[in-house]
């Protein structure tokens, strides 16, 4: 019967909509209201809208109508078969979300404080005058960020509470103890009787328990390590006395730095293999041929096959060698020209050379200038 009345009411609404949808020849100013009831000026609109008294929540989305006060409204109900998301308090025929969840209306009034409403239900509950908690182990107060709740539902009087003073004893016992973390969660743990003095290294004190266990030497794990056990093959005992004379410089063994120097390859005769295992390095030194070494110089090369120099040099005369150079160990005697009318010297920008190949000896000088210009004889300058 109820379903039939709902169908009938739907047909009535549709009939009213059809009767009043014809546009009028006159326009008038009306107001429009959204789903939440907020009003706004709509301007000049056609007045040929159906008149309905239903809430927009029950009118299909997209249908405009006039309410009993002549306010233009817009339906918000989803009539397409899918449900829209709930947006406001007390809304129905919608899909709840994280911010607008479903609320059980049954006995809801007793849960809501007087003066407040939720889901269309007016509250009837009287708020108690609770005060914030000010310390631990309190009840009947409002928990705060500093004094939060701890879950005591699983607490047992037969299980030891973990305290600062009984911490060490609880760890040394096989019995259980309980503890709560900062989130208020209870944890039940069990100590271990193996946590005893004879299982703790001598000289170590853990939570008030002094150890008496003498440690065995550790296995050697690095070069030069002492007071450890060598098991081989990576590490073995090494006699350190005189070991430095057997090791290449910049290398260490058993903590001993080597002192044996190895010549550079440029100082070892080309083709000679030497170094680690006798083949790590190869010399690059090349000896000159005998014809390139001055005759009279000492023999050179390998002791078993010395080379005798055979070059006979043709050195220039020291008189033709600059004073800043030497020839065959003798300093040169050729210097720069330092005055006029010099020969056998090196000309300079101050004392350049001049051409005397056509000179006749009739020079023009300051002393004979007046005499020579009065004669018809030639002179040179």
Asked whether residue 105 is domain-assigned, the answer is no
Question: 27 pLDDT exceeds 80?
Answer: no
pLDDT of amino acid 299: 93
pLDDT tens for 165-185 read 888 888 888 889 998 888 888
Q: Give per-residue pLDDT as tens, 124-149.
A: 766 666 788 898 888 888 788 888 88
**Neighbouring C-alpha atoms within 13 Å toward the C-beta of 190:** 5
**Is 17 within the bounds of a domain?**
yes
User: Within a domain: residue 20?
Assistant: yes
288 in a structural domain: no
> Does 117 score more than 80 pLDDT?
no
Q: Which residues fall within 8 angstroms of residue 330, CB to CB, at 6 or more apart?
A: 318
Backbone conformation region of residue 207, classed left if phi is above 0, alpha if psi is from -120 to 50, else beta: left
End-to-end CA distance of the chain: 152
Nearest alpha-carbon partner for 299 in 316, 287, 286: 287
Whether residue 331 is predicted with pLDDT greater than 60 in this model: the reply is yes
| Res 11 pLDDT > 50 | no
User: Mean pLDDT, the chain, as a whole number?
Assistant: 78
Summarised one tens digit per residue, pLDDT across range 336-350 is: 888 888 888 888 898
Q: Residue for token digits 């000088």?
A: 365
* Mean pLDDT value of segment 58-73: 84
User: Does the residue 24 lie in any domain?
Assistant: yes
Task: Indicate whether 58 belongs to any domain.
Answer: yes
Q: How many CB atoms lie within 10 A of CB 109?
A: 15
Query: pTM of the prediction?
Result: 0.26
For residue 41, is it within any domain? Answer: yes
**Burial degree of 16 (CB within 10 A; 0-12, 13-18, 19+):** middle
How many structural domains are present in the chain?
1
Residue 363 lies in a domain: no
Domain range for 45: 2-74
């Amino acid at each position: 019967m109820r379903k039939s009345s709902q169908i009938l009411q739907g047909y009535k609404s549709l009939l009213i909509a059809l009767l009043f949808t014809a546009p009028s020849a006159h326009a008038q100013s009306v107001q429009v209201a959204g789903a939440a009831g907020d009003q706004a000026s709509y301007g000049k609109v056609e007045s040929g809208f159906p008149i309905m008294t239903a809430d927009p929540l029950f009118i299909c989305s997209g249908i405009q109508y006039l309410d009993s006060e002549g306010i233009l409204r817009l339906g918000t109900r989803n009539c397409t078969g899918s449900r829209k998301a709930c947006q406001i308090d007390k809304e129905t025929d919608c899909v709840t979300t994280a911010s607008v969840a479903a609320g059980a209306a049954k006995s809801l009034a007793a849960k809501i404080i007087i003066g407040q409403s939720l889901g269309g239900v007016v509250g009837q509950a009287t708020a108690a005058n609770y005060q914030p908690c000010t310390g631990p182990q309190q009840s009947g107060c409002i928990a705060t960020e500093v004094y939060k709740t701890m879950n005591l539902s699983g607490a047992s009087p037969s299980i030891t509470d973990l305290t600062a003073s009984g911490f060490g004893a609880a760890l040394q016992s096989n019995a259980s103890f309980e503890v709560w973390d900062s989130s208020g969660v209870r944890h039940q743990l069990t100590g271990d009787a193996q946590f005893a003095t004879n299982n703790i290294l001598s000289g170590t004190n853990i939570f008030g328990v002094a150890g008496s266990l003498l440690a065995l030497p550790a296995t050697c794990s690095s070069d030069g390590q002492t007071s450890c056990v060598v098991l081989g093959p990576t590490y073995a005992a090494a006699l350190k006395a005189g070991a430095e004379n057997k090791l290449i410089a910049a290398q260490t063994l058993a903590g001993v730095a080597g002192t044996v120097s190895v010549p550079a390859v440029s100082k070892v005769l080309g083709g000679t293999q030497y170094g680690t295992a006798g083949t790590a390095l190869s010399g690059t030194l090349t000896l000159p041929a005998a014809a390139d070494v001055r005759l009279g110089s000492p023999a050179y090369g390998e002791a078993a096959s010395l080379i005798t120099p055979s070059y006979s040099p043709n050195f220039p005369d020291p008189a033709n060698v600059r004073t800043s150079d030497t020839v065959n160990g003798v300093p040169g005697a050729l210097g720069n020209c330092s005055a006029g009318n010099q020969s056998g010297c090196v000309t300079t920008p101050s004392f350049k050379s001049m051409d005397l190949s056509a000179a006749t000896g009739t020079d023009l000088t300051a002393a004979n200038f007046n005499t020579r210009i009065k004669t018809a004889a030639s002179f040179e300058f």
